[in-house]
Amino acid sequence: MPELPEVETIRRDLLPLVGSRLREVMIKQPRLVRPDPATFRDRLRGRTLRGISRRGKLLIFDWGENLLLVHLGMTGALILAGDTAEPSHTRVILELDRGRIYYADPRGFGWLEALPREDLPRHPFYQKLGPEALEISLAEFEARLAASRSRIKSLLLDQRVLAGLGNIYTDEALFRAGIHPARRAADLSPQERKRLYEAIREVLRRGIELRGSSVRDYVDGQGKSGRFQEEHCVYGRRGLPCPSCGRPLQYQKIAGRGTTFCPFCQR
């Protein structure tokens, strides 16, 4: 699933379209658009794009009095193209003055929703999002960990607690901080909490710098692969040597998600 670095990369790739007018909306898979295809078109067609922002893993397109929310789900992609061939698994096409945005999604778990601007604070997905992973203060981060009896991996994946992290960057941050993913969040020492806070910021910033992790379906807004997977220490490396101690990395389900870690470096 695209996480904060992947979504932020796509946002930046699409920024050249700001100031462009939306000429037409083509919907190939109606179930992915909300509230319904007709309303979706009416709220967007003919409007000028004023800006693109991000909240956690959610993209927000500003069309003035209406907004477009895009959640990429597990395999969604937004690709900016001129006259190039349509990507496979294209579900929705937004045709603007300066090019087309293709929403492609092989598994179809993402969604696009057009809504009035004033409805955003009450949107059921948006209103539950916690503070941004790159903006939360150390003091608030520590307080949220200290108040939870959840396992640290489960807590970091909870978008109500911290918005933007997913399986890849959680595993990478926990490894860099030397914290076992099954530890209870409240049991971490102040030093461990600070190390984890810094590790989260480190992997997210590096992920953005390298334009995301392409381990399965992810491509950026130009339809190209990211490069952060080349620097993964644990994610996708089960059974391979730990980059720190050389022992085999272990894999197990923690918080319902496949988790790779070093049992020696992350006790």
Which one is catalytic: 47, 184, 238, 257?
Answer: 257
What pLDDT was estimated at residue 217? 84
10-24 mean pLDDT: 97
Joined together, the tokens standing for residue 191 give 């030093």
Q: Is 91 a catalytic residue?
A: no
What pLDDT was estimated at residue 120? 98
What pLDDT was estimated at residue 83? 60
What pLDDT was estimated at residue 85? 80
> Which phi-psi region, left, alpha or beta, contains residue 255 (left: φ > 0; alpha: ψ -120 to 50)?
left
Q: For residue 22, with 0-12 CB atoms within 10 Å meaning exposed, 13-18 middle and 19 or more buried, which class applies?
A: buried
128-139 mean pLDDT: 98
> What is the H or E stretch that residue 142 is in?
helix 138-146
Q: Is 2 a catalytic residue?
A: yes
Contact 48, 21 (CB under 8 A): yes
Q: Does the pLDDT value for residue 255 go beyond 90?
A: no
Contact 173, 232 (CB under 8 A): no
CB burial string 156-191: b at 16+ within 10 A, e below? bbbbebbbbbbbbbbbbbbbbbebbbbbebeebeee
Q: Give tens-digit pLDDT for 72-93.
A: 999 999 999 866 689 999 999 9
Q: Is 263 a catalytic residue?
A: no
238-251 mean pLDDT: 97
- Dihedral of the alpha carbons of 188, 191, 193, 196, in degrees to the nearest 10: -120
What pLDDT was estimated at residue 84? 66
Q: How much is the pTM?
A: 0.96
Contact 132, 167 (CB under 8 A): no
Find the distance separating the first CA and the last CA of the chain, reported in whole Å.
27
Which one is catalytic: 43, 54, 57, 151?
Answer: 57
What pLDDT was estimated at residue 148? 95
Which one is catalytic: 3, 6, 8, 172?
Answer: 3
Q: Which SS3 state, helix, strand or coil, does residue 35 take? A: coil
184-188 mean pLDDT: 97
Q: Is 3 a catalytic residue?
A: yes
Q: Give tens-digit pLDDT for 145-156.
A: 999 999 999 999
What pLDDT was estimated at residue 110? 97
Q: What are phi and psi of 263, to 5 degrees?
A: -70, -10
Q: How many helices (H) and strands (E) in the chain?
A: 6, 11
What pLDDT was estimated at residue 151? 97
Cα distance between residue 133 and residue 165, in whole Å: 7
